[in-house]
Amino acid sequence: MDFFRIQGGRRLAGRVRVDGSKNAALPLLAAVLLTDQTITLHNVPALTDISNMLSLLRELGVDVRGESGTITLRSVDENQVHTRYEIVSTMRASISVLGPMLARRKRAVIAMPGGCAFGERPIDLHLRGMQALGASITLLSGDMSVTAPKLKGTTIFLGGPNGSTVLGTANVMCAATLAEGRTIIECAACEPEVVDLANMLIKMGAKIRGAGSPRIVIDGVESLGGAEYTVMPDRIVAGTYAVAAAVTNGDVIIDDFPFDCMLAVVDRFDHIGVIVERLDPNQDSMHASVRVTSARLLKPTQITTQPHPGFPTDLQAQFMTLLCFAHGNSVITEKIYAERFLHVAELTRMGANLQRFGSTVIVSGGTQLKGAPVMASDLRASASLVLAGLAAEGVTTISRIDYLDRGYHRLETTLNALGANIERCSATSNIETIASTNAQMLEAKRAPSMSLTAAAKQ
């Protein structure tokens, strides 16, 4: 597996564009199962999660043309209903095919997703929604078999202990488009990716009102047609680029910054002393160009992750890195995934001063991070380590960057174009490189004391 070797301490400057959103594209792709007409999607990011979803769709009888950018898809064999564990275990978002498949093919057999790197991720709300629409569910050797000869609209409450569910809302919304009568989703997820999906479904002929609010009303139709649609920009990638500019004291212009759905993030940047300035206030606020710079001294803050429009859990790890450079104590509380703190131990290896108390971490900022060999453990944790490596003194090596490739397309190429020094190395030389990096760092540590000794002798 590849790993990164990052020489820290370079200031980032220049211009970068945000790709299409992974978390919007995945349910949009799954929605092709709702029709036998052609769907053309533009701005699909080139990521491993997208390739996995395309492989799954091919197994489910979809003719797929293209891998990223513009992709055309058409469901041609509607007899396939099985989503294998081998695929579900690589990507939990495979569950997005449940609603579309059930609505049109009347049956879906989906392997139960197991645990996830950052804790339990149940699917009870997805299943509650399908049952409310009239589906029956049986569990067979790790597969759930979900059947419904005819789905019937009803009122469904989708709230759970941590708020609503994004992919659960997407699943129920898709299923309800072809159900008989009216479905009302109460406590629906308000995430912009749900709005993106609703917009495409409406283009396909669905009758949906209220997406983006906690109450979505869907009036079922007989069938859906084809559509052409452009995936929204990725708000998490946009936020990650902005943190990269801030931790390196850089000056970066970010195009296609979905400002309108990042207000909680921009608010925290503002509090910390990172300036996110819109270049043209008349520009479409989902495709804004912003300039990111920072104050000389960053301020500590409090962050609590919440469902949208609150601060997104998918940027928690990246902001933890940023707050390591603020002067004072910050408090980060994770309210969506209580265990999503795999980056804490790795950042600590780089000299971060972090104390975890359950789902809260106190970040005592102001210490200079030092390059170290660290290991990526999930997608956003990996991003936080790359950001730490950019700002750290010396060399950082990050292993298991396959996690990063799931959600950031060639992040090193993008950041290098802004002035970073990141090398993607092949794993065969991993141990040797990490060992030589360690040796270099040891040498660098010795060097000043040697010169002091030399100076003292003179």
Q: Using the rule CB under 6 A, is 26 a contact of ligand EPU?
A: yes
Residues tagged active-site: 116
Site for ligand EPU in 227-286 (CB under 6 A): none
Per the CB < 8 A criterion, the answer to whether 40 and 229 are in contact is yes
Q: Which of 23, 316, 377, 397 binds ligand EPU (CB under 6 A)?
A: 23
Q: Which of 59, 124, 186, 339 binds ligand EPU (CB under 6 A)?
A: 124
How many residues bind ligand EPU, per CB under 6 A? 25
Q: Using the rule CB under 6 A, is 98 a contact of ligand EPU?
A: no
Q: Using the rule CB under 6 A, is 190 a contact of ligand EPU?
A: no
Q: Using the rule CB under 6 A, is 132 a contact of ligand EPU?
A: no
Q: Using the rule CB under 6 A, is 168 a contact of ligand EPU?
A: yes
Q: Using the rule CB under 6 A, is 313 a contact of ligand EPU?
A: yes
**Interacting stretch for ligand EPU, rule CB under 6 A, among 160-168, 218-226, 289-297, 357-365?**
160-168
User: Cβ closer to ligand EPU: 121 or 424?
Assistant: 121
Q: Which amino acid does the sequence have at 36?
A: D
Q: For residue 329, give the 3-state DSSP assignment.
A: strand
Cβ at position 123, least distance to ligand EPU in Å:
5
State in Å, rounded, how far the first CA of the chain is from the last one.
49
Q: Which of 121, 215, 278, 291 binds ligand EPU (CB under 6 A)?
A: 121
Peptide bond into 309 cis (omega under 30): yes
Match 């308000």 to its residue by tokens: 190
**Helix axes of 235-247 and 263-272: crossing angle, nearest 10 degrees:** 10
Q: Using the rule CB under 6 A, is 131 a contact of ligand EPU?
A: no
Q: For residue 57, give the 3-state DSSP assignment.
A: helix
Strands of the 136-140 sheet, one edge to the other? 82-83, 107-111, 143-147, 136-140
Which is it for strands 360-364 and 353-357: parallel, antiparallel or unpaired?
antiparallel
Strands of the 155-157 sheet, one edge to the other? 155-157, 182-186, 215-219, 207-209
Q: Which of 16, 41, 88, 123 binds ligand EPU (CB under 6 A)?
A: 123
- Long-range CB contacts (within 8 A, 24+) of 74-77: 74/32, 74/36, 74/37, 74/38, 74/39, 74/226, 75/32, 75/33, 75/35, 75/36, 75/104, 76/36
**Interacting stretch for ligand EPU, rule CB under 6 A, among 56-64, 118-126, 207-215, 250-258?**
118-126
User: Cβ closer to ligand EPU: 314 or 395?
Assistant: 314
User: Cβ closer to ligand EPU: 219 or 402?
Assistant: 402
Task: Name the site residues for ligand EPU (rule: CB under 6 A).
Answer: 23, 26, 93, 121-126, 160-162, 165-168, 189, 193, 313-314, 336-337, 379-380, 407
